[in-house]
Every structure is written in C-alpha cells, then in structure tokens.
Structure 1
Amino acid sequence: MVRHTISLPDPMSHYIDLQVSSGQYGNVSEYIRDLIRKDQEQKQLAINELRNLLDKAEASGISQMSMGEIRERARKRAGL
C-alpha cells in the first residue's frame, strides 16, 4: 500500500470529518477510497456508454443523405 499526503481547505476537511463521524466510514482513508472507487465506476460507465453509441453508429450503416440533409435533420432535432 502506498501512502499519499494531500492538503485540503478547511471546509472540505470538515465535510470529510462529518462523513466519517456519521458512522458511514471508519476513517478518512475509507472515505477517500470510496470516492475513488465511485469515480472509477463513473468513468467506466461513461466509456461503456460511448462504446455502445459507437457500436450503434457503426451498425446503422452508411447514410444515403447528403451532409446538408444530415445537418438540417440535426438542427430540427435540436429545435434550431
């Protein structure tokens, strides 16, 4: 295990202390590890979503519309 030292403004430090004192976490390290795990999960979900969108786009094939038609359709969908 690697030890890291960080500096936090007082309001953030107080917030962390509140999270620990609520009993939800045993100590500051548990809270920070939980935040990092949640961040990793969120980023992985975003990557998976992007991959799914790319797969759908690729599976949809090549459009027969011109670039102008595609732009116009996108503008209409966006309400512009």
Structure 2
Amino acid sequence: MAMPLSARPGLSKDDPDSTWIVGVEVDLATALALARASTKALLELSPLAHREISSALAQEIDILETQRDPLSAAAAQALKQYLPEAA
C-alpha cells in the first residue's frame, strides 16, 4: 500500500504515486457525504428513529471524547452537528 504524500515529503505531485492520495480523498469525501445523508434521513424517519439515532450518536461522541486525541476530538465535534442539544 502506498503512503500518503504528507508521509512522503520528497514525492512530487507529478509522480504516479501521488494519485493515490487523490483517490483516498475522493473515497473519504464520498463516505462522509453518504454518512451525513443517511443520518439526516434516519433522523427524519420518525420520532422513535430520531430518539434512537440521537442516543447512538451521543454514545459515539462520549467514546470519542474519552480517547483524548486530536482526530477523535475532531470526529466528536463533527458528530455534534446532528445533536443540537449536545453542541
């Protein structure tokens, strides 16, 4: 597996390996968009669905916040957008 460009500072953007990072970024952006759309749809499905997804999101936020690393903190903050009462 290739390493991202940030981990390989000597790699030129013209190098064929640099296309790997573009693919990863596109995959990540697609996954995030699908996750946001799915969450929004579930929240609108019914009051019960809203309660259950809100509870699951609150649990995930708690887990992420206890990990105390920058990536987990950023993920927790991103999840809070779906829980106005947690923000």
Structure 2-normalised TM-score?
0.40
Mark the structure with the bigger radius of gyration. 1
Q: Comparing both structures, which one devotes a greater share of its residues to helix?
A: 2
Q: Which has the higher contact order (CA 8 A, sep 6+)?
A: 2
